[in-house]
Each structure stands twice: as C-alpha cells, then as structure tokens.
Amino acid sequence: MGLLERLRKDWFIAGIVLVIAAARLEPAVGVKGGPLKPEITITYIAVSAIFFNSGLSLKTEELTSALMHVKLHLFVQIFTLAFFPTAIWLFLQLLSITPINEWLLKGLQTVGCMPPPVSSAVILTKAVGGNEAAAIFNSAFGSFLGIVVTPLLLLLFLGSSSSVPFTSIFSQLFMTVVVPLIIGQIVRRYIRDWLERKKPPFGAISSCVLLMIIYTTFCDTFANPNIDLDKFSLIVIVFIIFSVQMSFMFLTFLFSTRNDSGFTPADTVAIIFCSTHKSLTLGIPMLKIVFAGYEHLSLISVPLLIYHPAQILLGSLLVPTIKSWMVSRQKALKLTRQPKVPVKV
C-alpha cells in the first residue's frame, strides 16, 4: 500500500487526535485571532485551497460532463433540502416527549435545513474514487441554493426569520468556491503533463486542510462560556447524529443502486456523501444571522458543530469499504457488458 493510500485510509485517526487536542487547547486559539487566525485561514484560505486543489486535479472534460447529469443533481438537492429536513422534523416530534434539551433538538432541525458542504463531500468522494466532478457541482450548486432555501426552511420548521445578506454570502461563496476552481482549471492546462507525470497527493492535501477546519470548529464550540450542556442530552444527541448519518447513507445507497436508477457506482459514491453531508462553513454564519439575539444560539449550534466532524470521521471510516464495493461493482458491470463468445461444438 502506497503512502497516499495510507493517508487516505487512516487520516481520520489524526482527526480524532486533533479534536481531543482542540477541547484542551481552545483558549490558545479562540473563536477569533490566535495563532491560526481562523476567521481568515478557515473562512477564506482553507476553503479556497480545497477548491483550487480540486480544479487543479480534475480533468476539464469530467467537470463538463458532470454538468449534464441532471438526474443526479436533482436527486441530491431534493434529498438534502426537502427529504432530509422533513424526515428530521417527523423524528423530532417523537423526541419532543423525551427529557432531551429542547434547544439541542431545535439544533438538530437546523442541521436538517442546511445545504451540502463545500468541501468534505468532495474530498471523501475523491478519496473513494467516485464521481468527483458531480460532487463538486452539487457542493457548489447546493451551497448557492442553500443561501435562499435554508432561511426559508428555518422559517417553516422553527418559525425563525431574519433579513439575510444574500449578496455578501453569494459573493463570498463565489470568491472561495467558483474562482479557485476556475483558476485551478486554468493552471492545469499549463502544467498538465507535469501533473500526470508526478501525480501530486491531491487527496492528502485536501484532507489536511479539512483537519484544520475540524480543529478550529471544536475550538469555537468549547471556547464558548455560555454553553450549558447536561451530559445525558449531549450523549444522546451524539448517538442520534451518528444514527441519522448511517441511516441516510444506507437509504441513499439503496435508492441509487436500484436497477432502474441509471446511476453508475461512481455516481452512487457522490450521492452518498453529497446527500447526507451538511455545511458548517455556511451553516454557522447563517445561524448567527437567523437566530441573532437568541440567548440559546450556542446550544442550537451544538448539533451542527458535532455533525460536521462526525460526518467526516464516519465517512473516512467507510472510505475503504465503499471503495471496495465500488471497484467490485464496476468489475461486475464490465463483465456483464462483455459480449458472450459462442462455444464451438
């Protein structure tokens, strides 16, 4: 097994280490400032680096062909922004009679209303070898769509409304997602031969950047002195989050692997990650806008702050299994498509 493959398979262990370190070292980093300057390095540089990296590594023809896969895009966006929040709302009607902290339950609903992430689904799809181009398109398109849809969903399910600065969020997404992707594609044209010859570890680079995002996220969570969590509610919420992720990943797998689905194994990989992952980089700023002035904003944010690293760690754990399934499925499909040679008597 090569160095790159080992990094792709085992990087989640490093994530766990960083999460534990974050809980202990958060005063040194803080929500803003500190040696890492997360308000700059994470909000702008880290996300831009991930999409520049994708633009540099992705073949232009693959990205172009992905734009035409309308059925896949509809499946991902409808599942993420319609089925997901509705299913969570129904589930929370049952949980409302339990002693779980009501603000954490509201936080679970906000998770359901969030759009796809702009980074983690792309990285995990790339690590498996799935349809990375489709993952990039759905991550970018879902993020832009979420700017409009997410506040409406929060209003519908939680009754929260606020004036959302659509223009500033659109411009930030454009500068951190679309522009780096285009620049990466342009640079690729000039160094294509070198890239194919040297094969830089794009997957490992993106994974390292994502680990930094996890680290600063947990610093943001535990540095907040206003969070008052009881252990029971927190443990139950963590269990629910992992259960929801596993259930929805299995559900998208079943839907996308039906004989009449029209999706390839590589498409299924992109669907699994893009449909079940939720955006933290867009979600947290939007929660701060929509729930501005709420004294329980910190508690409402906790489920999303847990969901984000949980989806990455869980996805990383499943990378080898999903990759093994995809490769074997592709081989099986190739064999069924080969013409049968008549046996001579």
Where are the domains positioned within the chain?
3-328
228: exposed, middle or buried (Cβ count in 10 Å: 0-12, 13-18, 19+): exposed
Nearest to 136 by CA among 170, 171, 169, 185: 185
- What is the pLDDT confidence band of residue 206, given thresholds at 50, 70 and 90? low
Answer whether 203's CB lies under 8 Å from 291's CB: no
Q: Which of 60-64, 65-69, 132-136, 336-340 is most confident? A: 132-136
3 pLDDT more than 70 = no
Q: In the 8-state DSSP scheme, what is residue 226?
A: T
What does the longest C-alpha to C-alpha distance in the chain come to?
83
Tokens of 127: 């690590």
Answer whether 253's CB lies under 8 Å from 272's CB: yes
pLDDT at residue 294, as a whole number: 67
Query: What does the pLDDT look like over 93-125, one tens digit per residue?
Result: 998 888 888 888 988 999 999 988 767 888 899
More confident residue, 122 or 163: 122
Residue 39 burial (CB count, 10 A)? 14
* pTM tops 0.85: no
Q: Please state which of the four CATH numbers 1.20.1530.20, 3.30.70.20, 3.40.640.10, 3.40.50.261 is assigned to the domain occupying 3-328.
A: 1.20.1530.20
d(CA 287, CA 18): 25
More confident residue, 308 or 19: 308
More confident residue, 233 or 1: 233
d(CA 131, CA 313): 20
- The residues, ordered by sequence, that sit 6+ positions from 227 with a Cβ below 8 Å of its Cβ are 221, 298, 299, 302
Indicate the range of 59-73, 224-238, 261-275 predicted with least confidence: 59-73
Mean pLDDT of the 178-187 span: 82
d(CA 3, CA 115): 33
Query: What does the pLDDT look like over 226-255, one tens digit per residue?
Result: 666 778 888 999 999 999 999 999 999 999
- The residues, ordered by sequence, that sit 6+ positions from 33 with a Cβ below 8 Å of its Cβ are 39
Place of tokens 């830089």: 200
Answer whether 188's CB lies under 8 Å from 55's CB: yes
d(CA 88, CA 301): 16
d(CA 325, CA 337): 18
Q: Which of 71-85, 116-130, 325-339 is most confident? A: 71-85
4 pLDDT more than 60 = no
- What is the pLDDT confidence band of residue 66, given thresholds at 50, 70 and 90? low
d(CA 160, CA 223): 26
